[in-house]
């Protein structure tokens, strides 16, 4: 028992079979028997399955009469199904059918046998048995010893099974049972190693997956992903590899022989397969996919490079409308390299002081009073100089840097607001900060905002977050909860680019917002396009019905100012009023408290609606 226990201690899944056979040999010698065996009960198929024996028969008959035996084959095998106590069989008491089966499998006539059950959680999982050619009595002390060894074997098998389960979960996706990202990276490393093989990587993303998830629920989304995983796994050839990378992203690794294969043709077949309808919750669901293709050779591109190349190609396929495959080529390589360089430099800028904030005032069109400033990030690019967010925000969003970027902007804007508050305590204006969808979805965003306010000694009423409809629509329920928590800090909330998102009217009544900002594309046409004017007019009326402020963005002409005043929109920002400027250049405006309306408003008389709100005191310098 001591020897066996010591032998079992280092056993792993890879060495289990060898250890079991070695133990059977050791015990056969100790008990002076001719053969020993270990059998497993397969209750699903109602069979007893041979998993180890000593010595191994050579040759083994085909089919093997002892390999898989139905419990109903004879009384002896029937007894193994639910065996709870040691079982001893001798020639004089043996069942003839069993003796015939043994003779057929081994050529040996009469045998005696002792079996003990392997019991796990009250269930007989198998039997440990010993056979002596001819007759052999079995004493109780011997069968007791066999039962003790069987218990050790049960513990060993349970431990190894648990380790195998942990190993499986470490390398497989819980939802689809496909290999996961970790398994993919290791497999790709192996294939791209110097002794590996030429490989085509297909990066697949499901088209319009989120919209289906939002309309039918996550259960339907899971069912779709499981079905697509099954289709992909069934479609590839032996030696190919399918993994679920994350969310609705899958990766297929194709072995490319020296003769080559038409990878685009394979991708086309996969797209056709994925596009077949799936019945989910009584609905016929059809979803296409976008595939990016990159090819790697042993000793060539590294794993992360090849994944990045295929990802870039997939994004192009999706931008072209989806349901297509795009191969990573020289042009895409140039774009990907530029994107990679931007990511590296931007990360350095966030951590190393390479960002700046410019501020664009929001003005009362009637009085010129300063009502708010919007913080807009700029980047001191090492080669290009000061660049606007439009030139790097997409990379920040795609790489996840947007969260760190947004955190820096919020911290710097609050610091600057605290400084202005100390220098100009008589001014009452709000700091507006843009919040990205990724920031809004950050689990600790409310805590970060609270810490930022407290650290700068700012009351929440001085801070306003601008969010887009798109950010809210990504997860309405969670977004609304987060917005309410932010409101509890005293901050105000604005919907930016209002009218360009989805479900605006339906969702607005559920959102705890204070301000609507009309998108510049509508504002620019308010005086020349009847459709734009109607949209702006409707938005202003809608805001008033909900008791919300309304701000017009992108004011560039005096005519637009006049049209907005006629419609009853008095808050605005744009280049006509003031461009985004560094803090120092805003100082004069802060001293005056605003602008002179004569600088941006036409002298033509403006008819004021009867329900217009009372103008605030005109903010002019004493001189």
Three-class SS of residue 262?
A: coil
pLDDT of residue 114 exceeding 60, the answer is yes
Burial 494-518 (b: 16+ CB within 10 A, else e): bbbbbbebeebeebbeebebbbbbb
Structure confidence by residue, pLDDT tens digits, 156-214? 888 888 888 888 888 999 999 999 999 999 999 999 987 778 899 999 999 888 777 66
pLDDT at res. 195 = 75
Structure confidence by residue, pLDDT tens digits, 247-274? 899 999 998 886 667 899 999 999 999 8
Task: Output 581 or 504, whichever has higher pLDDT.
Answer: 581
- H helices of 298-400, in order, are 303-319, 330-352, 393-399
Q: What are phi and psi of 432, to 5 degrees?
A: -100, 130
Three-class SS of residue 364?
A: strand
What is the spatial distance between Cα 22 and Cα 7, in angstroms, rounded to a whole number?
Answer: 9
Spell out the residues 6+ positions from residue 71 whose beta carbon is closer than 8 angstroms to its own.
Answer: 46, 47, 48, 77, 78, 80, 81
pLDDT of residue 240 exceeding 80, the answer is yes
Spell out the residues 6+ positions from residue 148 whose beta carbon is closer than 8 angstroms to its own.
Answer: 1
Token readout for 450 is: 């609270």
pLDDT at res. 500 = 64
What is the spatial distance between Cα 362 and Cα 464, in angstroms, rounded to a whole number?
Answer: 13
Nearest to 473 by CA among 450, 445, 447, 498: 498
Q: Which of 15-24, 506-515, 541-550 has the lowest mean pLDDT?
A: 506-515
pLDDT at res. 485 = 96
Please say whether the beta carbons of 467 and 493 come within 8 A: yes
Structure confidence by residue, pLDDT tens digits, 343-394? 899 999 999 999 999 999 999 999 999 999 999 999 999 999 999 999 999 8
Structure confidence by residue, pLDDT tens digits, 40-70? 999 999 999 999 999 988 888 888 888 999 9
pLDDT at res. 408 = 97
Per the prediction, the chain carries an average pLDDT of: 87
pLDDT of residue 502 exceeding 70, the answer is no
Please say whether the beta carbons of 290 and 204 come within 8 A: yes
Task: Output 417 or 468, whichever has higher pLDDT.
Answer: 417
Q: What Å distances lie between residue 30 and 34, 108, 227, 308, CA to CA?
A: 11, 21, 54, 61
Q: What is the CA radius of gyration of the chain?
A: 37
pLDDT at res. 468 = 85
Domains and CATH numbers, the chain: 2-170 (3.30.450.40), 181-328 (3.30.70.270), 341-597 (3.20.20.450)
pLDDT at res. 65 = 87
Spell out the residues 6+ positions from residue 421 whose beta carbon is closer than 8 angstroms to its own.
Answer: 427, 458, 462
- Could you tell me what percent of the chain has a pLDDT over 90? 57
pLDDT at res. 55 = 92
What is the spatial distance between Cα 437 and Cα 478, in angstroms, rounded to a whole number?
Answer: 12
What is the spatial distance between Cα 379 and Cα 139, in angstroms, rounded to a whole number?
Answer: 87
Alpha carbon 227 to its chain centroid, in Å, reads 18
pLDDT at res. 592 = 95
Structure confidence by residue, pLDDT tens digits, 405-418? 999 999 999 999 99
What is the spatial distance between Cα 551 and Cα 548, in angstroms, rounded to a whole number?
Answer: 10
Please say whether the beta carbons of 362 and 372 come within 8 A: yes
Nearest to 360 by CA among 154, 589, 180: 589
| CB-neighbour burial class of residue 432 (10 A; exposed 0-12, middle 13-18, buried 19+) | buried
- Could you tell me what percent of the chain has a pLDDT over 70? 91
DSSP secondary structure string, 187-246? HHHHHHSTTS--EEEEEEEETTHHHHHHHH-HHHHHHHHHHHHHHHHHHSPTT-EEEEEE
pLDDT of residue 505 exceeding 60, the answer is no
Structure confidence by residue, pLDDT tens digits, 275-306? 899 888 777 888 899 999 999 888 888 898 89
Please say whether the beta carbons of 551 and 573 come within 8 A: yes
Structure confidence by residue, pLDDT tens digits, 570-601? 999 999 999 999 999 999 999 999 999 988 87
Which residue matches tokens 């977050």?
465
Helix-, strand-, coil-residue percentages of the chain, each rounded to 5: 45, 25, 30
Query: What is the arrangement of strands in the sheet containing 35-42, beginning at the earlier edge strand?
Result: 68-70, 47-54, 35-42, 123-133, 111-120, 87-89
What is the spatial distance between Cα 495 and Cα 276, in angstroms, rounded to a whole number?
Answer: 39
Three-class SS of residue 398?
A: helix
């Amino acid at each position: 028992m001591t020897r066996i226990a010591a032998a079992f201690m280092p056993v792993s899944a890879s060495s289990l079979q060898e250890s079991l056979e070695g133990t059977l040999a050791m015990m056969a010698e100790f008990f002076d028997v001719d053969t020993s065996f270990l059998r497993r009960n397969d209750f699903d198929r109602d069979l007893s399955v041979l998993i180890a024996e000593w010595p191994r028969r050579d040759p083994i008959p085909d089919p093997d009469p002892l390999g898989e035996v139905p419990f109903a084959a004879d009384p002896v095998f029937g007894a193994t199904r639910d065996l709870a106590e040691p079982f001893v069989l001798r020639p004089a008491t043996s069942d003839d059918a069993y003796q015939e089966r043994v003779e057929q499998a081994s050529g040996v006539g009469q045998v005696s046998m002792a079996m003990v059950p392997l019991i796990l959680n009250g269930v007989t999982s198998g039997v440990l048995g010993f056979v002596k050619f001819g007759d052999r009595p079995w004493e109780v002390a011997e069968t007791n010893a066999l039962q003790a060894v069987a218990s050790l074997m049960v513990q060993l098998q349970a431990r190894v099974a648990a380790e195998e389960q942990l190993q499986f979960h470490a390398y497989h996706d819980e939802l689809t049972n496909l290999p996961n990202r970790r398994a993919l990276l290791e497999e790709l490393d192996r294939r791209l190693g110097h002794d590996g093989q030429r490989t085509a990587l297909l990066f697949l993303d499901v088209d319009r997956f989120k919209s289906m998830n939002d309309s039918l629920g996550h259960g339907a989304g899971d069912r779709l992903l499981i079905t697509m995983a099954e289709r992909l796994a069934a479609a590839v050839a032996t030696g190919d590899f399918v993994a679920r990378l994350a969310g609705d992203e899958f990766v297929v690794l194709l072995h490319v022989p020296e003769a080559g294969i038409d990878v685009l043709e394979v991708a086309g077949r996969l797209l056709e397969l994925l596009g077949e309808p799936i019945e989910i919750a009584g609905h016929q669901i059809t979803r296409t996919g976008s595939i990016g293709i990159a090819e790697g050779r042993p000793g060539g591109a590294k794993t992360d490079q090849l994944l990045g190349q295929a990802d870039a190609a997939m994004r192009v396929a999706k931008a072209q409308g989806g349901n297509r495959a795009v191969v990573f080529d020289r042009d895409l390589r140039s774009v990907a390299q530029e994107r990679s360089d931007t990511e590296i430099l931007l990360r350095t800028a966030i951590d190393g002081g390479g960002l700046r904030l410019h501020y664009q005032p929001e003005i009362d069109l009637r009085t010129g009073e300063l009502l708010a400033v919007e913080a807009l990030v700029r980047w001191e690019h090492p080669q290009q100089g000061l660049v606007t967010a439009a030139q790097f925000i997409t990379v920040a969003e795609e790489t996840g840097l947007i969260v760190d970027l947004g955190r820096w902007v919020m911290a710097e804007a609050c610091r600057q607001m605290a400084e202005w508050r100390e220098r100009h305590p008589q001014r009452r204006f709000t700091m507006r900060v843009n919040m990205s969808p990724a920031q809004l979805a950050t689990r600790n965003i409310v805590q970060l905002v609270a810490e930022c306010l407290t650290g700068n000694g700012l009351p929440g009423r001085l801070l306003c977050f601008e969010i887009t409809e798109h950010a809210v629509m990504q997860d309405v329920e969670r977004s609304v909860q987060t917005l309410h928590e932010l409101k509890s800090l005293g901050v105000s909330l604005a919907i930016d680019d209002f009218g360009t998102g989805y479900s605006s009217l339906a969702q607005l009544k559920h959102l705890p917002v204070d301000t609507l900002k009309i998108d510049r594309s509508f504002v620019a046409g308010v005086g020349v396009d009847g459709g734009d004017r109607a949209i702006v007019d409707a938005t202003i009326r809608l805001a008033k019905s909900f008791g919300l402020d309304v701000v017009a963005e992108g004011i560039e002409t005096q005519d637009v100012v006049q049209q907005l005043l006629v419609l009853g929109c008095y808050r605005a920002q744009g280049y006509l009023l003031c461009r985004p400027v560094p803090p120092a250049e805003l100082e004069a405006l802060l001293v005056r408290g605003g602008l002179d309306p004569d600088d941006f408003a036409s002298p033509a008389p403006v008819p004021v609606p009867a329900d217009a709100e009372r103008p605030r005191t005109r903010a002019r310098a004493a001189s």
